[in-house]
């Protein structure tokens, strides 16, 4: 989809999400923040606000688009929190010495 096919707040929403995907790719592969999901979510929210946009984008489109992106990301954040919690429980269970399991 080209920029010509998107307009206004939709362009901002898509640009913001693509920006995040580009930023997160290396982090997810490296796994640097896999144990601190809240740090990762805060970093995503910060980077979302620094999305590069076309200069002629109106302020209202910026605000609406970033709100749309935030709303779309909310369930992703909840899923990340859930997966992180399950991974932490899994790690804790694996760290229990087998002599203590009865």
Q: What's the domain range around 34?
A: 3-94
The answer, yes or no, to whether residue 94 has pLDDT greater than 60, is: yes
Inter-residue contact 53 to 12 (CB < 8 Å): yes
pLDDT digits (tens, 9 = 90+) for 2-53: 445 567 888 888 888 878 877 776 666 455 555 677 887 888 889 888 888 9
Q: Is residue 89 part of a domain?
A: yes
The number of distinct structural domains making up the chain is 1
- How confident is the model over 84-99, as a mean pLDDT? 75
Classify residue 11: in a domain, yes or no. Answer: yes
Asked if residue 102 is part of any domain, the answer here is no
Whether residue 81 is contained in a domain is answered as: yes
Q: What are the C-alpha distances in Å from 70 to residues 16, 31, 87? A: 9, 23, 25
Q: Residues 73-84: pLDDT tens digits? A: 888 888 878 877
Longest dimension (CA), the chain: 66
> What pLDDT is recorded for position 62?
92
Residue 44 corresponds to which tokens in the numbers above? 């995503």
> Is 100 within a domain?
no
User: Is 101 part of any domain?
Assistant: no
Q: With a threshold of 0.75, does the pTM exceed it?
A: no
Residue 99 within a domain: no
């Amino acid at each position: 989809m080209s920029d010509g096919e998107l307009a206004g707040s939709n362009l901002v929403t898509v640009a913001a999400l693509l920006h995040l995907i580009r930023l997160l790719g290396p982090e997810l592969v490296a796994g640097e923040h896999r144990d601190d999901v809240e740090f990762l979510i805060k970093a995503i929210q910060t980077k979302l606000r620094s999305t590069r946009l076309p200069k002629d984008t109106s302020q209202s489109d910026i605000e609406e688009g970033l709100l749309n992106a935030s709303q779309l990301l909310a369930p992703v954040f909840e899923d990340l929190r859930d997966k992180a919690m399950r991974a932490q429980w899994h790690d804790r269970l694996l760290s229990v010495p087998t002599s203590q399991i009865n």
